[in-house]
A and B are shown apart, each in its own frame.
Chain A
């Protein structure tokens, strides 16, 4: 009798070869990306998120055409490529829009599954916890990187085109890749870690925003009282700015070692992923 290929992860033993696929998470991601795209206000949020790129694109163009005399202040600020990309990635408006994007695309990713009791649907399929989490992560990373990494690379390309020079620093290119990856992984892991807390999506949306705003306000208050910049380690946007300084080698916004922010963001991402994995394990066991 011909042996069948088995793609079943039940609790019984089968005769046959269990087939693995490295892309079990892909259907979750594709479906999630389409769902987010179809949401109300999606195009508005995407337009606002992309607006920073267009402003900086105009500034890059203006820097090659000084006779135009537009966006002079911005052009003067962006003296170097490192300054340009650090300012682009770590500017307040883009960080704000990234937080809005995480709320929009990520707040309901797991909380909606909790609300509709969808875990039995997922884990009655040959899906591992890793597949489920990877699928959800990938949805968020798709949108976050679309408005960070992709515009960053495009900005570099356009800079080269406008300046008529194809030379660029490999370290700068590495920075353009690494910075958004760290920030987006951090934001995605934090958002998903919060999303699993409650089936009430509105509560999660507010929680995400509170983490962003509260951390910054708290840092400002503590700094004002204790006169130390180290308190900005508590601030989410503050850490992102410091990370930018660390990666692009520019002057840090705050007076503490910039590598601390990189370490903190990475540590929080790792903790969030471990927490998620543990919570999903509990949910899978119940399913």
Chain B
């Protein structure tokens, strides 16, 4: 069977079934919380309880803190690590590896489905937040440019994180804890260190793309020394593809033992 067709069949099937899963409702609610906050800030700004343009500032903070430092890594961790691990836990991997479809196609099909689900959650939330904050500025090109930058960076971040956690999930069962340590341990701590150490995190390259000057938003950014935008894009894309290649490499060669203790 043609690789592309198999991949698409797997993608379509798991994309549909992913949205029907109960946990998706939780993720949708989670993605809507920033929207609710954004709407509340907008209403308060209109009512005069907040200074003018506070909602624009709020939008930037919400994007940075809630999306880039929390929701995106967590969604990527969940969706990425469950690509292989869920099949192992449910002992359904056998059905995908005893058909005339390469393991590469299986993994990539599932990855595409997971990535698109996460991207829709994030992108949908972003768009709604943007509309809430920039309702009066929708005619301005700058507002849409800002949205494009945030959205583009979010998708790059999602791609890079999800590829990394897909590789981790393909390699080990306890990838969630490792992922949490990486994002909220290593990446949080390294932000205190100046110099080249920061470049060994994904968040550094993400923040280098965002329109927030270094040193501002004290509790958000510690010692960001941003890298050039093009370099950041290439690094995120490159790292993402490397992790994805690693994930495929591992999945093609590793034997997964479906024990009863799974």
Q: Do chains A and B touch in the complex (CB under 8 A)?
A: yes
Residue A122 at the B interface, CB < 8 A? Answer: no
Q: Is the CB of B41 within 8 A of A203?
A: no
Q: Is the CB of B177 within 8 A of A41?
A: yes
Residue A209 at the B interface, CB < 8 A? Answer: yes
Measured between beta carbons, the chain B residues less than 8 angstroms from A104 are 177
Measured between beta carbons, the chain A residues less than 8 angstroms from B126 are none
| Total CB contacts across the A-B interface at under 8 A | 74
Number of interface residues of B (CB under 8 A): 32
Residue A213 at the B interface, CB < 8 A? Answer: yes
Given contacts A104-B177, A202-B85, A209-B184, contact A220 B65 (CB under 8 A): yes
Number of interface residues of A (CB under 8 A): 27
Residue B148 at the A interface, CB < 8 A? Answer: no
Given contacts A104-B177, A198-B23, contact A221 B62 (CB under 8 A): yes
- Determine how close the nearest CB of chain B comes to the CB of A67; give it in whole angstroms: 30
Q: Is the CB of B184 within 8 A of A213?
A: yes
- Determine how close the nearest CB of chain B comes to the CB of A76; give it in whole angstroms: 20
Q: Is the CB of B41 within 8 A of A225?
A: yes
Measured between beta carbons, the chain A residues less than 8 angstroms from B181 are 100
Q: Is the CB of B78 within 8 A of A206?
A: yes
- Complex Cα distance, B21 from A200, in Å, reads 11
Measured between beta carbons, the chain A residues less than 8 angstroms from B26 are 203, 207
Q: Is the CB of A205 within 8 A of B22?
A: no
- Complex Cα distance, B82 from A200, in Å, reads 10
Residue B52 at the A interface, CB < 8 A? Answer: no
Measured between beta carbons, the chain B residues less than 8 angstroms from A203 are 23, 26, 78
Measured between beta carbons, the chain A residues less than 8 angstroms from B69 are 217
Residue A224 at the B interface, CB < 8 A? Answer: yes
Partner of A100, one of B41, B61, B180: B180
Cβ-closest chain B residue relative to A200: B23
- Complex Cα distance, B180 from A222, in Å, reads 24
- Complex Cα distance, B174 from A225, in Å, reads 38
Residue B30 at the A interface, CB < 8 A? Answer: yes
Residue A218 at the B interface, CB < 8 A? Answer: yes
Measured between beta carbons, the chain B residues less than 8 angstroms from A221 are 37, 58, 61-62, 65-66
- Determine how close the nearest CB of chain B comes to the CB of A218; give it in whole angstroms: 7
Q: Is the CB of B54 within 8 A of A103?
A: no
Contact digits for B179-194, partner A, Cβ 8 Å, 1 yes 0 no:
0110011000000000
Partner of B30, one of A103, A210, A224: A210
Q: Is the CB of A225 within 8 A of B58?
A: yes
Q: Is the CB of B177 within 8 A of A100?
A: yes
- Determine how close the nearest CB of chain A comes to the CB of B41; give it in whole angstroms: 6
Q: In chain B between 31 and 82, which residues have their CB closer than 8 angstroms to a CB of chain A?
A: 33, 37, 41, 50, 54, 58, 61-62, 65-66, 69-70, 74, 77-78, 81-82
Contact digits for B232-244, partner A, Cβ 8 Å, 1 yes 0 no:
0000000000000
Measured between beta carbons, the chain A residues less than 8 angstroms from B37 are 218, 221-222
Measured between beta carbons, the chain A residues less than 8 angstroms from B65 are 217, 220-221
Measured between beta carbons, the chain B residues less than 8 angstroms from A100 are 177, 180-181
Q: In chain A between 183 and 239, which residues have their CB closer than 8 angstroms to a CB of chain B?
A: 198, 200-203, 205-207, 209-210, 213-214, 217-218, 220-222, 224-225
Partner of A103, one of B22, B74, B177: B177
- Determine how close the nearest CB of chain B comes to the CB of A31; give it in whole angstroms: 14
Measured between beta carbons, the chain B residues less than 8 angstroms from A225 are 41, 50, 54, 58, 61
Given contacts A206-B78, A213-B74, 14 further A-B contacts (CB under 8 A): A45-B177, A103-B176, A103-B177, A115-B89, A202-B176, A209-B184, A210-B30, A210-B70, A214-B30, A214-B70, A218-B33, A221-B61, A222-B37, A225-B58
| Chain B residues at the A interface, C-beta cutoff of 8 Å | 22-23, 26, 30, 33, 37, 41, 50, 54, 58, 61-62, 65-66, 69-70, 74, 77-78, 81-82, 85-86, 89, 174, 176-177, 180-181, 184-185, 219
Could you write out 7 A-B pairs with CB less than 8 Å apart?
A96-B184, A115-B89, A202-B86, A206-B77, A207-B26, A213-B184, A220-B65
Shortest Cβ-Cβ A-B pairs, 5 listed = A217-B65, A205-B176, A206-B78, A202-B176, A203-B23
